[in-house]
Amino acid sequence: MSNTLQLTQDEKAILAGARGQGAARALEIVEALARIAGVDRLLPVRSAHVSGISYRNIGEAGLHFLKTLAAGVEGLAVPATMNPGGVDLRQWRALGGSKAFVDKQLEIVSVLEGMGVEAALTCAPYHVGNKPCQGDAVAWAESSAVSYANSVLGARTQREGGPAALAAAITGRTVGAGPHLTENRMPTLVVDVMAELRCPADAGALGFLAGSVAGGGVPYFRGNPPPVEERDAFLRALGAAMAASGAVALYHWEGITPEWKVASARLAGSEILAVRDLSPGFDIPGTRPKGHVDLVAFGCPHASLAEIRALAREMEPGELQVPLWVMTSRHVAALAEDEGLGESLRRAGARLVCDTCIVVAPLKDMGYSAVATDSGKAATYLPSHQNVPACFGDRRACLRAARTGEFVSGR
């Protein structure tokens, strides 16, 4: 615990109740975290992204915590968005949700909205207007969003917990540690990519392998780059998988990500991982190499418009036998509907699913028992967080499973 923490006059006033009791309680949370981290000052942030809002995950205890914190909050200091909840709030009946669960989820959303958090309900807040610039300090929870903000946008954030991100939104302050500090943004692991990356799932497999070695470090990728077409999807799949198999909050890719040049000057002494074969990355512990599935899931992280276009191109009307979700934000879903992509997906038997995520939805209660996915992150978490068997494969493998109900191989 640090006794060197110096609060500004404004921060002392907030603690004394100048912005209400809610803000005072929130600043107490940030102050306690800052003392544990041993920093001298609190760091102002430009935005927050709040996770941990699915009723399946936080239950009554979490809802009670949010209500308690919300009492006396008189608005946010900075813009903030919500991560996915546990259910699509508009299509829940068609997806097998229950009214009781929806009511609880709505209560959580309403408590957060009452404080000023935007109900974006997406893990891609950068698709819906919460998009920091290079160098901006932000307080984001949700590990895939953290990875994207740090690595692809060049913003700076720790892997905040949900309550800490909410406290940052209320106070405009966070703990300036971890990736906020330039010295913590330097590489610890060089990954020589010798395998060809053909689709975003390959980047997920690469991410699984690299994250397992990197742990909480900073990988630097070089070698075969992700293809220019769909590059963003590759980078998001990579970051999400590394955040799940390790605790990677930041990576660099030579010639691609904004800080790679600075990072490239600091490679000496880094461990080197050569990846010639991606097959072991498809063999995530707890997943199945083949078997029956009753749900196929794309959009972890939430799909971009480009990813939805690519998926829609590969589907034919009436061909899917198994429910197929393409998870995305409402904002991107509306753009997809404008282009007729939603209709194309529905004709094939798929649907755009919003507000939720395959890992935090109550899948078993909704009647699903085995999932195929092209996401390394979802494949990592489904067996452990949902106790649901998962098959991890590329887009073609997952679409094949959606046509037949049988997953036969990952690639």
Can you tell me the distance from the alpha carbon of 282 to that of 19, in angstroms, rounded to the nearest whole number? 50
Nearest-approach distance from CB 300 to ligand F3S, in angstroms: 3
Cα dihedral 322, 233, 149, 245 sign:
positive
Contact flag: residue 5 with ligand F3S (CB under 6 A) = no
Nearest-approach distance from CB 43 to ligand F3S, in angstroms: 25
Can you tell me the distance from the alpha carbon of 31 to that of 11, in angstroms, rounded to the nearest whole number? 10
Can you tell me the distance from the alpha carbon of 92 to that of 15, in angstroms, rounded to the nearest whole number? 41
240 or 248: whose CB is closer to ligand F3S?
240
- In the shown chain, the binding pattern of residues 150 to 189 toward ligand F3S, with x for contact by CB under 6 A and - for none, equals ----------------------------------------
3-state SS of 306-372 is HHHHHHHHCCCCCCCCCCEEEEECHHHHHHHHHCCHHHHHHHHCEEEEECECCCCCCCCCCCCCCEE
Window of 73-81, 106-114, 279-287, 295-303 that interacts with ligand F3S by CB under 6 A: 295-303
- Which of 301, 323, 376, 389: binder of ligand F3S (CB under 6 A)? 301
Total residues interacting with ligand F3S, rule: CB under 6 A: 14
Contact flag: residue 377 with ligand F3S (CB under 6 A) = yes
- In the shown chain, the binding pattern of residues 188 to 227 toward ligand F3S, with x for contact by CB under 6 A and - for none, equals ----------------------------------------
Contact flag: residue 386 with ligand F3S (CB under 6 A) = no
Number of neighbouring beta carbons within 10 Å of residue 347: 15
Window of 38-46, 108-116, 256-264, 300-308 that interacts with ligand F3S by CB under 6 A: 300-308
Residue 103: CB partners within 8 Å, gap ≥ 6? Answer: none
5 or 238: whose CB is closer to ligand F3S?
238
Can you tell me the distance from the alpha carbon of 339 to that of 274, in angstroms, rounded to the nearest whole number? 41
- Which of 47, 81, 105, 144: binder of ligand F3S (CB under 6 A)? 144
Residue (of 302, 374, 343, 381) closest to 124 by Cα position: 302
- Which of 50, 141, 197, 240: binder of ligand F3S (CB under 6 A)? 240
C-beta of residue 264 within 8 angstroms of C-beta of residue 188: no
Residue list 313-332, contact with ligand F3S (CB under 6 A): 327
Peptide bond into 187 cis (omega under 30): no
Window of 7-15, 25-33, 299-307, 334-342 that interacts with ligand F3S by CB under 6 A: 299-307
- Which of 359, 372, 401, 402: binder of ligand F3S (CB under 6 A)? 359
Can you tell me the distance from the alpha carbon of 5 to that of 142, in angstroms, rounded to the nearest whole number? 27
Could you write out the DSSP letters of every residue in 164-230?
A: HHHHHHHHSEEE--GGGSGGGGS-SEEEEE-S---SHHHHHHHHHHHHHHHTTS-EEEEESPPPSTT
Contact flag: residue 357 with ligand F3S (CB under 6 A) = yes
Tell me the two tokens of residue 129: 């207007």
Tell me the two tokens of residue 11: 């921060």
Beta bridge partners of 50: 82
Beta bridge partners of 220: 190, 252
Nearest-approach distance from CB 375 to ligand F3S, in angstroms: 6
Residue list 106-135, contact with ligand F3S (CB under 6 A): 123
- In the shown chain, the binding pattern of residues 23 to 62 toward ligand F3S, with x for contact by CB under 6 A and - for none, equals ----------------------------------------
147 or 270: whose CB is closer to ligand F3S?
147
242 or 263: whose CB is closer to ligand F3S?
242
Distance in angstroms between the alpha carbons of the first and the last residue of the chain: 49
Residue (of 354, 348, 305) closest to 324 by Cα position: 348
Window of 188-196, 198-206, 297-305, 402-410 that interacts with ligand F3S by CB under 6 A: 297-305
Number of neighbouring beta carbons within 10 Å of residue 64: 11
- Which of 66, 111, 164, 300: binder of ligand F3S (CB under 6 A)? 300
Nearest-approach distance from CB 374 to ligand F3S, in angstroms: 11
45 or 327: whose CB is closer to ligand F3S?
327
Binding site for ligand F3S (CB under 6 A): 83-84, 123, 142, 144, 240, 300-302, 327, 357, 359, 377-378
